[in-house]
DNA sequence: AGTGCGATTGACT
DNA sequence: GTCAATCGCACTA
C-alpha cells in the first residue's frame, strides 16, 4: 500500500483503526486488563510496525511503586494526562518504557506495556533490534520500545489518534487472561497488578509468573 | 553540585 | 542461575 492510500479517508495505517478514548475503561486496573489483545501500531519512515499486546502492568492511584506516587515532576507529567496518552521514560539509562495514562486529567496513574506479539513490519523490528528471533523481538518493555523505535520524543502523545504511535482495536478475541505480581519492583510488590495472555510465547518474566 | 537509584537488558558461569 | 553497564532524574545541601 502506498502513502497516498494510507492517508485516504476510511483507510487506516496498517489496517488498525485507533481505539477511541470513550471505549477505554476509566479505571487503571480495568484498562490494564482491557489492553491485553489490543494493538500497538507505529508509523516509521520505512512503514508501519505493529504488535498485539500480550502483557501489561497497572500502576494505580496511590501506588508506592508508581512514578506518580510523589506527585508531578517534569519527567512524569504525562502520567497525569487524561487516559490514553503516552508516558515514556528511560529506565536504567538504556531502555525506554511505554505506558498508557489511565485516569482522569490531573490524576497520576498508568499502564506499562510489557510485551508484544509482533504482527506487521517484522523485518523492520529485526533491524531495529539487531536480532532475528521472532520470540525475542518485543518480549520485554525495553525490547518492544526498541523494536518500535519509541523514545522520549513521543512522550505525551495521544494514543487514541492515528499518528506516529497509537492503540488499535484487537484483530481477534484474546484468549484467557492471567494475573500475577508485577516484575522488577521493590515497593508494593505483592499486588496482583500484572496481566498477560495465558499461553502466549511472547511473554516476559519467569515461567512461574505465566501459569 | 553531588549522590543514589532504578517499572531492564545482554553477556556470561 | 548471576552480574554489571548506563544515565536521566529526583533529592539533598
What DSSP line would sit under A51-88, residue for residue? EEEEEEEEE-TT-TTSTTTT---TTTGGGGSBTTBEEE
pLDDT in tens, A16-70: 899 999 999 999 999 999 999 999 999 998 999 999 999 999 999 999 999 999 9
Assess whether pLDDT exceeds 80 at residue A4: no
Nucleotide nearest to A77 (CA to C1'): C9
Question: How far, in Å, is the CA of A157 from the C1' of nucleotide C8?
Answer: 20
Residue given cell 523514545 in the structure block: A151
| Of A4-18, A61-75, A150-164, A176-190, minimum mean pLDDT range | A4-18
What band does A86 get if pLDDT is binned at 50, 70 and 90?
very high
Question: How far, in Å, is the CA of A142 from the C1' of nucleotide C3?
Answer: 19
Assess whether pLDDT exceeds 70 at residue A145: yes
What band does A173 get if pLDDT is binned at 50, 70 and 90?
confident
Distance from C-alpha of A59 to C-alpha of A45, rounded to nearest angstrom: 32
What band does A14 get if pLDDT is binned at 50, 70 and 90?
low
Assess whether pLDDT exceeds 90 at residue A2: no
Assess whether pLDDT exceeds 90 at residue A203: yes
Assess whether pLDDT exceeds 50 at residue A10: no
Instruction: End-to-end CA distance of chain A: give it in Å, rounded.
Output: 40
Distance from C-alpha of A108 to C-alpha of A62, rounded to nearest angstrom: 9
Nearest residue to C9 via alpha carbon and C1': A75
Residue A172 has a pLDDT of: 75
Nearest residue to C7 via alpha carbon and C1': A93
| Residue A116 near residue A52, CB atoms below 8 Å | yes
Q: How far are the Cα atoms of A85, A129, A195, A207 from residue A60, in angstroms, in the given order? A: 15, 31, 14, 25
Distance from C-alpha of A102 to C-alpha of A56, rounded to nearest angstrom: 12
Whole-model pTM? 0.93
Assess whether pLDDT exceeds 70 at residue A161: yes
Residue A208 contacts strand C, CB under 7 A: no
Question: How far, in Å, is the CA of A18 from the C1' of nucleotide C5?
Answer: 38
Average pLDDT, chain A: 93
Residue A77 contacts strand C, CB under 7 A: no
Residue A5 has a pLDDT of: 44
Amino acid at each position: 500500500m502506498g502513502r497516498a492510500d494510507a492517508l485516504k479517508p476510511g483507510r487506516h495505517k496498517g489496517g488498525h483503526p485507533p481505539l477511541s478514548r470513550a471505549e477505554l475503561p476509566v479505571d487503571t486496573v480495568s484498562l490494564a486488563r482491557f489492553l491485553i489483545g489490543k494493538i500497538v501500531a507505529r508509523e516509521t519512515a520505512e512503514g508501519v510496525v505493529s504488535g498485539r499486546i500480550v502483557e501489561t502492568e497497572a500502576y494505580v492511584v496511590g501506588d508506592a511503586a508508581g512514578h506518580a506516587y510523589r506527585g508531578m515532576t517534569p519527567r512524569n507529567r504525562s502520567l497525569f494526562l487524561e487516559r490514553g496518552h503516552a508516558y515514556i521514560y528511560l529506565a536504567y539509562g538504556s531502555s525506554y518504557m511505554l505506558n498508557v495514562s489511565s485516569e482522569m486529567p490531573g490524576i497520576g496513574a498508568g499502564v506499562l506495556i510489557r510485551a508484544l506479539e509482533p504482527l506487521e513490519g517484522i523485518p523492520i523490528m529485526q533491524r531495529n533490534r539487531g536480532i532475528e528471533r521472532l520470540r525475542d523481538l518485543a518480549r520485554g518493555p525495553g525490547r518492544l520500545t526498541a523494536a518500535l523505535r519509541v523514545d522520549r520524543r513521543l512522550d505525551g502523545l495521544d494514543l487514541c489518534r492515528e499518528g506516529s504511535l497509537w492503540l488499535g482495536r484487537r484483530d481477534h478475541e484474546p484468549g484467557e487472561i492471567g494475573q500475577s505480581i508485577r516484575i522488577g519492583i521493590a515497593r508494593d510488590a505483592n499486588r496482583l497488578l500484572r496481566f498477560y495472555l495465558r499461553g502466549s510465547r511472547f511473554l516476559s518474566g519467569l515461567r512461574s509468573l505465566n501459569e
